Every structure is written in structure tokens, then in C-alpha cells.
């Protein structure tokens, strides 16, 4: 309702409108109103508009047309938003200063910050000697086909086979499944059977290798006709056939080879996080869409989910069911640094868009402290005329001395005892405070003249 200036009428109210005939915009009017919380009053005169109520339709009869009438009910209550679930409406939260709203869009900033990805929180660190996790094998961890295994891994060094997830087997190469890293850094997924198909495995392409001391996502998929292995979402596949056989049914192992033949081998040296076991075939799109996010634990087809976020204790908990694992020989809980989110790249709990006015020298929409600063002088390379640092000869900070640097040097030859401007400091090779012939000779040598 508008009436010159707006009157806010809370909760349930009762109205009486005095008029003869149908009211039209511009007519004079008198509205007496009251509310369930004891308030009330009269509004009269001037232009008005009565468009609708919010929420429950107006009570009737009579209808809002013709003759004298009155509105005898109707809720005029707008929905209350409380995005951070702190019991305070968002508007009141912002007005009181208990929540920020740096972009003035009416939504508390903490409700707009996108959570960072995985791996994050904690991970398990394995020593490559004897550390591992034992999980009792149950029928739902022994599917015949159509299943998916996923894990994040940060291997410390290559050399020999290293097992991530390995179901017990008898050593004959005809049972169980395994997701592992080969000595050359390639990923391998095996799903073996005793149906005359032998030891089936697929090894990732050479271009999809695991680099030491970097986090990589690995996945293995078997759908009874194709065996697939993924590294960081990149797929390698090969034909396969037959149900997986399980001769030894004691345990599922994380971090080592298990079973009755050479069980204490293929130990992992590195960290594991976010291990997932599905009884469905995950598509490439599904793997890519969810590998960087934490799951709720109740997703369809998710049989087991070991987040590795306990941070202490001797149990690796299953967030999807009851497949808890026992830490053997002391794998260590390791706290991981937070992962930058989609709109808070520097993890300062401020929306990136609200930092740009004072923190975006190149106007590219990314806060400066989320961009490279090769010489660490507080000015990002894109805005630094001497990005490589004093005496580097690398004006653009791209790691080499090339034609672009030669062009930048063109205005910097000042001679002995000439002052060195900040943009020319990278050509002061002897750091004597000037750009003279000695510096020029050094640049020629570095530039290959």
C-alpha cells in the first residue's frame, strides 16, 4: 500500500475502508487499521494504491470491489531472511554491525563467501615404511562390478609401487582391486577376477603422471566392460570384462598392499585425503564436478567416505556409513593449509570484489595479493616496472632477459653517479646506485649480445 509516505503495518491487521462504489487511484479514502500486537490508527486522504498483500490471500467475503466493503483478514508479513542462522534477521544483523555487507547488497558477507575446496582440514601422512590403515571388508566394499574409488594423494617421492586403496588378495593376480602409483609416477587401477580374464589393469597416459610433493586427485572406475583411471580429471581407459573375484575378504587397506601374499609391501610415502568408495559408475563430469568439494556423506551410491579430518586418535572414521578404519604403526594426522575460495582468494574473510578499489593496481578484478610478486617488494609483477628485482635485468619478471627487457632498459642508462629511478633498479647490476657502462656491459652479456 502506498499513501504519499508508506505506512508499515505489521503482522495480521484488520482494515475498514469507507467508500461508495469501486475505489480508484486518486479517490479520497479513510482506512482504519489495527494489528494483533495492539497497534492501530487511521490513514486518510490523498492518492493511494492498493495492490496486494504478501503471503496469505485476503480473507473474504466481501471481495475487494463494489460498494462499501471491509477487509477482515490477511497476513502482511514478509519472509525473514537469516542466512547465517544466528537468530537475527539479515537486515538487523547488518544494521547492528554484527555482520558486514561490504557490497551493500543486503546479504551478510559471510553468507557470500564460497567455501574453499579440498584437500583441506587434515590429512593422513604415511611414512612409506609400515604405516597403513585397516578397514574390515564387508560385502558392500566387495562389488562385482560398477564401482568407483577416489582419493587425493600427495606422494613424497617416487620409486616402487605405492598403494593408495588396496583390497586384500591372494597374490595370484586374479582377485581384488587396487588404486596405486607406479615407480615412474603413472597411476594404475586394477580390478581382477578368476573368470579367465586374469589380472585386468589400466595405466594412465604418460601425460597424466603424479608429481612428488603436489596434491593430485586419482580415481578408478570399473563398469564390467571398461576399466578407467583418472588423474586430476584426465581419463585413460581400456576394455575389460567379468566380475571382480574376492578370495581374501579380511580387509580393505589404505597405504599398503594387503592380503595373504606379500601383504606388507607397496607402502605409500606421502599424504592421503578424501577417500571415497561408490557402488555406482561415476561419470567423468561427476568426478570433475565434485573432486574439489567436500561431500555431505549421504549422496546416492556413496558406500564409504573417509574424509580424514579427525586430526587425532587411532580411528579413520567413515562419514557415509560404519566402515571405520584403524591406524596401524602410526600414520600421522597433518593439518593442511586452507584452500582459497572462489571469491576470497587471499583468505582474509573479505569478498574479493570489496577489496579491488585499494587492492587492484592492474584493474583485472583480482586482488593484488593474489597475483605474482616475483621480487617480493609488495608490488605485483603486472604493476612493477622492475618485477624481477634489483640487479636482475628482468624488468617484467618473466624469468628471462629478452627483448621486452631491452626495451625497458632503453631509458635507464644515466651514467656514473646518476640517480636510479625505481623502474631502473633491476638494471643496476653492481648495485652501486647508478646505471652506467658497467651495467650496460653486464646487460649485453646476459642478453647474449
pLDDT (tens digit, 0 to 9) for every residue of the chain, 449 residues total?
A: 333 333 333 334 444 444 334 444 445 556 665 555 556 666 555 544 444 444 444 444 444 444 444 444 454 445 678 888 888 988 898 999 888 898 888 888 888 877 667 788 899 999 999 999 999 999 999 999 999 999 999 999 998 999 999 998 876 666 789 999 999 999 999 888 755 445 677 787 766 689 999 999 999 999 888 899 999 998 998 888 888 888 889 999 999 998 887 778 999 999 999 999 999 999 999 999 899 888 989 999 999 999 999 999 999 999 999 999 999 999 999 999 887 777 887 777 788 888 887 888 888 888 888 888 877 878 888 888 788 888 888 888 888 888 888 888 877 776 666 667 777 888 888 888 888 888 888 888 888 76
The per-residue pLDDT for 15 is 44
Burial of 98-135, coded b for 16+ CB within 10 Å and e otherwise, reads ebebeeeeebbbeebbeebbbbbbbbbbbbbeebbbbb
Q: Which residue shows C-alpha cell 603486472?
A: 382
Could you state, in order of their start, the residue ranges of all structural domains in the chain? Answer: 1-79, 122-335, 372-449
CA 294, distance to chain mean position in Å, is 8
- Going by their DSSP bridges, the two strands 122-127 and 332-335 should be labelled as antiparallel
Q: Which residue shows C-alpha cell 576394455?
A: 239
Q: Are the beta carbons of 284 and 148 closer than 8 angstroms? A: no
Q: pTM of the full predicted structure?
A: 0.60
CA dihedral 93, 95, 97, 100 (to 10 degrees): 70
CA 163, distance to chain mean position in Å, is 26
Strand arrangement, sheet containing 13-17:
40-44, 30-35, 13-17, 69-71
Nearest to 158 by CA among 125, 182, 177, 180: 182
Q: Are the beta carbons of 229 and 206 closer than 8 angstroms? A: no
Residues 6 or more apart whose Cβ sits within 8 Å of residue 271 = 119, 123, 124, 125, 126, 153, 154, 334
112 phi and psi, to 5 degrees?
Answer: -100, -15
Nearest to 220 by CA among 273, 180, 261: 180
Alpha helix stretches (DSSP H) within 250-345: 284-290
3-state secondary structure of 170: coil
Report how far apart, in Å, the C-alpha atoms of 191 and of each of 144, 242, 256 are: 9, 9, 16
Q: Are the beta carbons of 210 and 187 closer than 8 angstroms? A: yes
Q: What is the CATH number of domain 122-335?
A: 2.60.120.200
Q: What kind and span of H or E run contains 189? A: strand 187-191
CA dist., res. 145 & res. 136, Å (int): 20
CA 341, distance to chain mean position in Å, is 6
Burial of 36-48, coded b for 16+ CB within 10 Å and e otherwise, reads eeeeeeebeeeeb
Amino acid at each position: 500500500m502506498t499513501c504519499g509516505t508508506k505506512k508499515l503495518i505489521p503482522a495480521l491487521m484488520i482494515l475498514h475502508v469507507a467508500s461508495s462504489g469501486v475505489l480508484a487511484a486518486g479517490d479520497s479514502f479513510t482506512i482504519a487499521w489495527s494489528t494483533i500486537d495492539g497497534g492501530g490508527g487511521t490513514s486518510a486522504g490523498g492518492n493511494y494504491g492498493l495492490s496486494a498483500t504478501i503471503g496469505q490471500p485476503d480473507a473474504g467475503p466481501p471481495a475487494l470491489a463494489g460498494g462499501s466493503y471491509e477487509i477482515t483478514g490477511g497476513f502482511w508479513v514478509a519472509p525473514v531472511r537469516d542466512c547465517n542462522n544466528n537468530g537475527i534477521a539479515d537486515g538487523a544483523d547488518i544494521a547492528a554491525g554484527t555482520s558486514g555487507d561490504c557490497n551493500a547488497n543486503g546479504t551478510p558477507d559471510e553468507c557470500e563467501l564460497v567455501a574453499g575446496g579440498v584437500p583441506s582440514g587434515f590429512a593422513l601422512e604415511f611414512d612409506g615404511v609400515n604405516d597403513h590403515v585397516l578397514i574390515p571388508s564387508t560385502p558392500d566394499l566387495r562389488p562385482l562390478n560398477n564401482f568407483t574409488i577416489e582419493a587425493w594423494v600427495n606422494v613424497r617421492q617416487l620409486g616402487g609401487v605405492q598403494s593408495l586403496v588396496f583390497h586384500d588378495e591372494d597374490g595370484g593376480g586374479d582377485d581384488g582391486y587396487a588404486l596405486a602409483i607406479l615407480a615412474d609416477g603413472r597411476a594404475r587401477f586394477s580390478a581382477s577376477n578368476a573368470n579367465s580374464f586374469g589380472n585386468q589393469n589400466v595405466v594412465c597416459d604418460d601425460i597424466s603422471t603424479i608429481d612428488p610433493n603436489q596434491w593430485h586427485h586419482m580415481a578408478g572406475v570399473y563398469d564390467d566392460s571398461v576399466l578407467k583411471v583418472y588423474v586430476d580429471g584426465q581419463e585413460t581407459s581400456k576394455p575389460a570384462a567379468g566380475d571382480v573375484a574376492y578370495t581374501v575378504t579380511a580387509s580393505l587397506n589404505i597405504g599398503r598392499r594387503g592380503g595373504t601374499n606379500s601383504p606388507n609391501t607397496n607402502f605409500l610415502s606421502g599424504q592421503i585425503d578424501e577417500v571415497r568408495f561408490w557402488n555406482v559408475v561415476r561419470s567423468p563430469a561427476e568426478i570433475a564436478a565434485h573432486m574439489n568439494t567436500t561431500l555431505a556423506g549421504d549422496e546416492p551410491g556413496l558406500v564409504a567416505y573417509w574424509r580424514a579430518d579427525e586430526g587425532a586418535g587411532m580411528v579413520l572414521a567413515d562419514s557415509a556409513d560404519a566402515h571405520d578404519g584403524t591406524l596401524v604403526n602410526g600414520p600421522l594426522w597433518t593439518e593442511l593449509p586452507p584452500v582459497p575460495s572462489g571469491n576470497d582468494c587471499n583468505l582474509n574473510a573479505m569478498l574479493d570484489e570489496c577489496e579491488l578499489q585499494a587492492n587492484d593496481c592492474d584493474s583485472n578484478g583480482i586482488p593484488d595479493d593474489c597475483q605474482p610478486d616475483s621480487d617480493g617488494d609488495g608490488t605485483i609483477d603486472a604493476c612493477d616496472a622492475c618485477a624481477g628485482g634489483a640487479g636482475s635485468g628482468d624488468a617484467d619478471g618473466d624469468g628471462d632477459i629478452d627483448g621486452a627487457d631491452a626495451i625497458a632498459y632503453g631509458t635507464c642508462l644515466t651514467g656514473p653517479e646518476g640517480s636510479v629511478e625505481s623502474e631502473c633498479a633491476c638494471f643496476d647490476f653492481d648495485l652501486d646506485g647508478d646505471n652506467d657502462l658497467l651495467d650496460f656491459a653486464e646487460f649485453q652479456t646476459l642478453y647474449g649480445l
